């Protein structure tokens, strides 16, 4: 079995971009912490993320369940070809971890890894939002990410410590081999009428609480709209 390899670790500060008076919503003022730069040497990994890393909207980004965002580097070949954007490469999704040897089919909820001095655990797939769309001026980019399943995923931190790029993750435990990131994405976005899947994931203790709540709402017949998440202020009301 190939072990996930951390090709890059990236952090960044919140940046403001755009013009608040722009006519096109895609050109208006916005802020994001997704513009992250690769870091060398040892970095301290806290329960809520890497030292010196920032997120702009703490209601939907960051926190213990989203301490580290990982994205497979191989996906960028697909996006470059699909979107015809050369600049979309490592770091373009705002990831902390540029991954090799792992993707949504080989990564499972609850996977627990030794990473340097730290211990991390897969918590949830990433739910794509409107900010990558704004960055690359592709209005439906979040929907494309969602539909392809090339979402990436998050880790929670079970044990803090120093970490460094250029390292393999050592698998300690895989308690839920039935729940790959790909399978979770399919349950959320494709098999929306399968309430058995919704029940299983709503009851999955190692899945992040916000994902569990989404499946619980589905079971109650209270599915929420995705418009705000995928389009946000990029689209006029």
The pLDDT tens digits of the residues spanning 151-182 come to 999 999 999 999 999 999 999 999 999 999 99
- Domain ranges, ordered by start, for the chain: 5-234
Give the pTM.
0.96
Is 80 exceeded by the pLDDT of residue 187?
Answer: yes
What pLDDT score was predicted for residue 61?
A: 81
What pLDDT score was predicted for residue 130?
A: 95
For 5-234, CATH number?
2.40.33.20
Residues 89-114: pLDDT tens digits? 999 999 999 999 999 999 999 999 99
Residues 55-93: pLDDT tens digits? 988 777 889 999 999 999 999 999 999 999 999 999 999
161: left (phi over 0), alpha (psi -120 to 50) or beta: left
Give the pLDDT band of residue 1 (cuts 50, 70, 90): low
Is 90 exceeded by the pLDDT of residue 235?
Answer: no
CA distances from 121 to 80, 117, 147 (A): 30, 14, 25
Residues 7-44: pLDDT tens digits? 999 999 999 999 988 999 999 999 999 999 999 999 99
* Average pLDDT for 212-235: 93
| Nearest alpha carbon to residue 68 among 142, 19, 26, 10 | 10
What pLDDT score was predicted for residue 62?
A: 85
CA dihedral of 172, 177, 182, 188, whole degrees rounded to 10: -110
What pLDDT score was predicted for residue 237?
A: 65
How many Cα neighbours within 13 Å face the side chain of 10?
Answer: 24
Stated as kind and residue range, the H or E segment containing 185 is: helix 181-189
Its sign, for the CA torsion 131, 58, 208, 52, is positive
More confidently predicted of 235 and 60:
235
């Amino acid at each position: 079995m190939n072990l996930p390899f951390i090709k890059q670790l990236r952090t960044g500060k919140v940046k403001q971009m755009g013009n608040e008076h722009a006519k096109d919503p895609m050109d208006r003022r916005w802020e994001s912490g997704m513009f992250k730069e690769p870091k060398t040497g040892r970095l301290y990994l806290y329960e809520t993320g890497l030292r010196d890393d920032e997120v702009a909207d703490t209601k939907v980004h960051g926190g213990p369940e989203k301490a580290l965002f990982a994205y497979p580097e191989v996906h960028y070949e697909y996006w470059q070809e699909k979107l015809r954007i050369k600049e979309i490469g490592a770091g373009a999704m705002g990831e902390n971890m540029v991954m090799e040897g792992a993707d949504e089919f080989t990564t499972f909820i609850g996977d627990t890894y030794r990473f340097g001095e730290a211990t991390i655990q897969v918590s949830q797939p990433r739910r794509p939002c409107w900010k990558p769309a704004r960055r690359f001026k592709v209005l439906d980019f979040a929907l494309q990410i969602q539909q392809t399943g090339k979402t990436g995923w998050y880790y929670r931190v079970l044990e803090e410590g120093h970490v460094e790029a250029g390292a393999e993750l050592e698998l300690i435990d895989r308690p839920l081999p039935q729940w790959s990131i790909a399978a979770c994405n399919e349950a959320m976005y494709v098999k929306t009428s399968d309430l058995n899947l919704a029940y299983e994931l709503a009851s999955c203790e190692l899945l992040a609480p916000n994902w569990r709540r989404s499946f619980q709402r589905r079971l109650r017949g209270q599915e929420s709209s995705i418009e705000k998440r995928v389009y946000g202020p990029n689209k006029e009301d």
